[in-house]
Amino acid sequence: MMENCKNRIWRIARIESECVHHLRKSTKPKTNAAQYNVLNFGAKPDGETDSTNAFLAAWTQACGSNQPATVFVPPGRFFLRNVVFQGPCKNNAILVRVDGTLVAPSDYQVIGNAGNWIFFQYVNGVTVSGGVLDGQGPSLWACKASSKNCPSGATSLGFSNSNNIVISGLTSLNSQLYHIVINGCQNVKVQGVTVSASGHSPNTDGIHVQLSSGVTVLNSRIRTGDDCVSIGAGTTNLWIEKVACGPGHGISIGSLGKDLQEPGVQNVTVKSVTFTGTQNGLRIKSWGRPSSGFARNILFQHAVMTNVQNPIVIDQNYCPDNNNCPGQESGVNISDVTYQDIHGTSATQVAVKLIVYLPEPVAFPAHWGCLEPGLAITWNGNENSLLL
């Protein structure tokens, strides 16, 4: 078992090395870039004037350039409605450099049903560097808390069907819904990102990845009201390292199995992460219904928990708020999961919670993977228990 775990760790490390090497080649900065300052297209840094069309005009020029291009957002506050930066572009090296703050409408109805606030689609070789996104989410959170008929809200920054993307040094504040979503993308690097929202903000996942391959999340700080990082169906070759989470719901694979036919999750590494005061630490969750989905070849390594309610969770009967639960056996196959060097403190007496479907009770299913030496989580100074 130990030898198999070591082989699996080496295999995942090799995959990460190949992905990062390719990413570095594909996102190498280009010289002699054309410059497009949004001020020259009519944007106003007063936080009130609608600058949406000015940003779109600057993007159109950069996207249509035959040479590398830069869209520059200088210091100041720029008010934007929902905006789609559409590709494909004529060049594969566009830098969106933000030195200021982008501000969403304070009235959540304006973009609440748009799906995304700032959205990139069908682009290749785009880097978003620096800046602050102020999603103005609290008024929508209050609406949802009052059980009124509210819109779902908009994701602050979304990338869809895009390749060779870098998001670096960005700060996302108070998103209405998710902060950053990577959907249907290849070779994405998220680094040095700060996410900040209330620990009670609903459905404000920090970074959500789905249907994507070769995504790397590095050196980021996430404080939010839902998952710090959520990993959806169809995610492969994902590397998460040096992420500080809390408050939030931890780093979660899933929920999986919501659909009968669903792509799986595989080759995921989460290492050198910290959790402080979170609801969960490392979690895998799937719905209790038939599904073709799966989660396999997962490595959780070098994690530190501080006062975490549920440090390690595998839940195959996931049903938030216990509303309209399917109540069937989960068809999601979970295998080759390794936990290595996980330690810290929990807020409850149960450190490892397994809510699973098994033909007969066992201590820990061997085909799932490994609980390696180094798992040490305490509660009030005492070792915690394993709940099956």
Give catalytic residues, as residue numbers. 249
The C-alpha atoms of residue 160 and residue 22 are separated, in whole angstroms, by 20
Among the listed residues 374, 236, 204, the one whose alpha carbon sits nearest the alpha carbon of residue 305: 374
Whether residue 304 contacts residue 337, with contact meaning beta carbons closer than 8 Å, is answered with no
The 280-287 sheet, strands edge to edge: 83-86, 116-121, 155-160, 180-183, 207-210, 229-231, 251-256, 280-287, 310-318, 350-355, 385-387
> Which residues on adjacent β-strands are paired with residue 383?
378
Contacts of 188 (CB under 8 A, 6+ apart): 23, 159, 162, 164, 165, 166, 167, 182, 212, 214, 215, 216
Whether residue 70 contacts residue 99, with contact meaning beta carbons closer than 8 Å, is answered with no
Whether residue 247 contacts residue 223, with contact meaning beta carbons closer than 8 Å, is answered with yes
The DSSP secondary structure of 173-194, one letter per residue, reads: ES-SS-SEEEES-EEEEEES-E
Residue recorded with tokens 């036919």: 261
C-alpha Rg value of the chain to the nearest Å: 21
Region of residue 189 (phi > 0: left; psi between -120 and 50: alpha; otherwise: beta): beta
The C-alpha atoms of residue 275 and residue 240 are separated, in whole angstroms, by 14
Contacts of 69 (CB under 8 A, 6+ apart): 33, 34, 35, 36, 61, 62, 63, 91, 93, 94, 95
Residue recorded with tokens 């931890």: 250
